[in-house]
Amino acid sequence: MSTIQEETKPAAFTQTEFREQLRELPPSAKLVAKVLETDAPLSQGQLAEASLLPDRTVRYALNRLEECELVDSRYSFNDARKQVYFLTN
């Protein structure tokens, strides 16, 4: 008899854990996280516009935030071709 194991999402970080993880990241990732803290969910283009960072820098920042599981993404309800990003805490 086989059992199906559901993939579970990790528990959200406490505010202290979130800040500790963020402290180790580059300034661009901190800025992107701050923008997402006030206006989320946002697409990569919207993040670039709001943060005044180049698209490439925003992509790097999002990758670093995703590696630390501080940011998650989903497809946009308005445009399924785009991903939108939001903080996990």
- pLDDT at residue 4, rounded to an integer: 45
Q: What contacts 9, CB < 8 A, 6 or more positions away? A: none
Give the model confidence (pLDDT) of 31-64 as tens digits. 999 999 998 899 999 999 999 999 999 999 999 9
Q: Is the separation of the CB atoms in 73 and 80 below 8 Å?
A: no
CATH code for the domain in which residue 68 is found: 1.10.10.10
Q: Does pLDDT of 8 surpass 80?
A: no
Number of domains, the chain: 1
- Whether 38 is covered by a domain: the verdict is yes
- Whether 19 is covered by a domain: the verdict is no
- Whether 1 is covered by a domain: the verdict is no
Q: Using the 8-state DSSP alphabet, how is residue 88 labeled?
A: -
- pLDDT at residue 11, rounded to an integer: 55
Judge if pTM exceeds 0.85.
no
- pLDDT at residue 21, rounded to an integer: 87
Q: What is the C-alpha radius of gyration for the chain, rounded to an integer number of angstroms?
A: 14
Q: Where in the sequence is the domain holding 74, given as residue range(s)?
A: 27-87
- pLDDT at residue 2, rounded to an integer: 43
79 or 8: which leads in pLDDT: 79
